[in-house]
Amino acid sequence: MTYASYEPARASEPLIDAEVRSATFSDIQALARIAASRGGAVDSHVAGFADALGEPGVIVLIALVEGTPAGWTGAREIDAEGDPGTWMTTGLTVVPAWRRRGIASQLLEAVAASVSSAGGERLVSVANARNRASLDLHLEVGFTEVERAASFLAIEFDGGEGVVFERALD
């Protein structure tokens, strides 16, 4: 996988204040298009979002810029070593036209707040070790690196190394 160019100390465009809200069934096509920007056909993502939106212990958020879908993320409650308060982020994606504008930060902050509101105590997230932008993003929004591994749960990392992050929630 190839990641978008990234220069840590320089934003190419001004930051955007996106509207981040819980996704609804009417957002499924938009969510699927955003997910497809990372790979796969739009149709291949539709059923997954339809299932997720109706499932307990799952949060799906969408970011809108002037009403246009610009990104999504979510979280799912997991049973991490018997710790029922642990959730894991899913699918943080910002469409290419809106990347490097602060939307991913807003999505991660919003999903952390949503998980906390749902009673979550800890949010876990993973990133490919080669995705420098994602690594820096996680650290900037309060995550701590806890381990590096070739896989985590059912996730196999492209290039053989991923980073596991966690963030304690209030």
Model pLDDT for residues 9-38, shown as the tens digit of each residue: 555 667 889 999 999 999 999 999 999 988
pTM beyond 0.85: the answer is yes
Local structure of residue 13 (DSSP, 8 states): S
Contact 115, 86 (CB under 8 A): no
As a whole number of angstroms, the distance between CA 3 and CA 82 comes to 35
CATH superfamily of 19-168: Gcn5-related N-acetyltransferase (GNAT) (3.40.630.30)
- Tell me the one-letter amino acid at 108: L
Sketch the domain layout of the chain as residue ranges. 19-168
Model pLDDT for residues 116-143, shown as the tens digit of each residue: 999 999 999 999 899 899 999 999 999 9
Q: What is the DSSP string of 38-89?
A: TSS-HHHHHHHHHHHHTSTTEEEEEEEETTEEEEEEEEEE--BTTBTTEEEE
